[in-house]
A and B are shown apart, each in its own frame.
Chain A
């Protein structure tokens, strides 16, 4: 065991994992995190806390993870390279592990241009792949980046993201391989709507045997309305929403129900794709949809949670 987290155990057992995301509030109140966590914890194996997503200042990822931990959730702490240098990141990781967090998702981070502090200076001392290397080095070699020893164990389960729909398509699998070589244990993908392209990407992964080296969780974003589908297609970088989905949402009598149906169909399909070991539901702002989707997709109940080793 690398970290002994529930997520690691579920994935290692060969079960089809379900993770979801909790967006922390723009306040110092723990209750929104607790409320969202309570609503979906029994339907998921692990919950990510985003790190100032879209560069909007929110309650910190480490604090959000601790709040989730208190209510019995196995948290995944997201870390972006945008806001911290190697000193701050390594320090935060030590602190997070001391507080019982074991899963970490390494991301570049959305550019600050998109957030509420577009005049800020970014950091990018490391990029996401170098961050993966950094965490692996701390865990496996007990070394900081500078080469000095970390005293004691650093049990980490290392995650990364990948977007099968970003360009250049032919390079995306090579970049995934770089993340695996750097030390990624699991991958959470960008939202999947365009199934043929995802299938093609997964086939390239399986052909290279990469699915045996990493656990891939397909990203799922439930759609609430036709407007949201169009927004995702036109305004969210790296998301591809086929016209057919937009039409189905437009024609639907109950768009929320139709949106849930669409993602359930997507989940049914990804479950059958070789190399996909779980799903990651990003229902930020619509966390209530998670229990319904998980139940309807036949993924409930979840495997019994086990206490982390550390």
Chain B
């Protein structure tokens, strides 16, 4: 799941300062599940902004909208009229949703109300942790189902480093050492031999070495209409 965190109200106030009519747009998917940009959070933020506006005796109008998936054109289209009517859109979706809004309404300023934080798991209610970097070349079959690129603070492929102590990472007693976890998991599965060979230098083409990544699947693309003339 994509995890986000709402920006502070002060930062949001700063972003909307130049606009009169603001449309706060939530998303019904990941940010709803992690309680930062669903229907309830949109309503809460909108009413906080309205109260602040009233205290300042300002004339801003704060409208609300929610789409099922802000990252998809079909769902965004449903609120086109409300967007056209606003001076700016304050998106409470992840950055993918916010950028989809910007793509679909290129003349409208889109303001991010949420910081897209990471791809992660819920540890327990109110606690999330990052587990995937979307690096494009998954190797967790070799590492006990634990991603070292993301969960090791140094993204080591041949860990653990000398800073691993009592199951914790050197950076903080709150951070588990991913390579200790990998070791324990592989030991329990009787597959520790996987840690004995040197993991070769990583090819980062699937991640950061080629600029923005794209996927093109011919089987899913709409065939170009044959020319009839």
Contact = CB atoms under 8 A, between A and B. Distances in A.
A156 to B, nearest CB: 17
A128 B201 contact: no
B107 to A, nearest CB: 34
B211 interface: no
B162 A181 contact: no
Interface residues of A, number: 37
B226 interface: no
B161 A108 contact: yes
A191 to B, nearest CB: 11
B136 interface: no
A190 B164 CA distance: 13
B155 interface: yes
A173 B160 CA distance: 12
Contacts of A161: 162
Interface in A155-213: 161-163, 165-168, 171, 174-175, 177-178, 181-182, 190
Contact of B166 (A86, A125, A167, A171): A167
A133 B156 contact: no
Contacts of A113: 153, 171-172
Interface in A119-176: 122, 124-130, 133-134, 145, 161-163, 165-168, 171, 174-175
Contacts of A168: 160, 164, 180, 183-184
A125 B205 CA distance: 12
A33 to B, nearest CB: 26
Interface of A: 81-82, 86, 108-111, 113-114, 122, 124-130, 133-134, 145, 161-163, 165-168, 171, 174-175, 177-178, 181-182, 190, 237-238
6 contacts: A113-B171, A127-B154, A166-B164, A167-B167, A168-B184, A237-B170
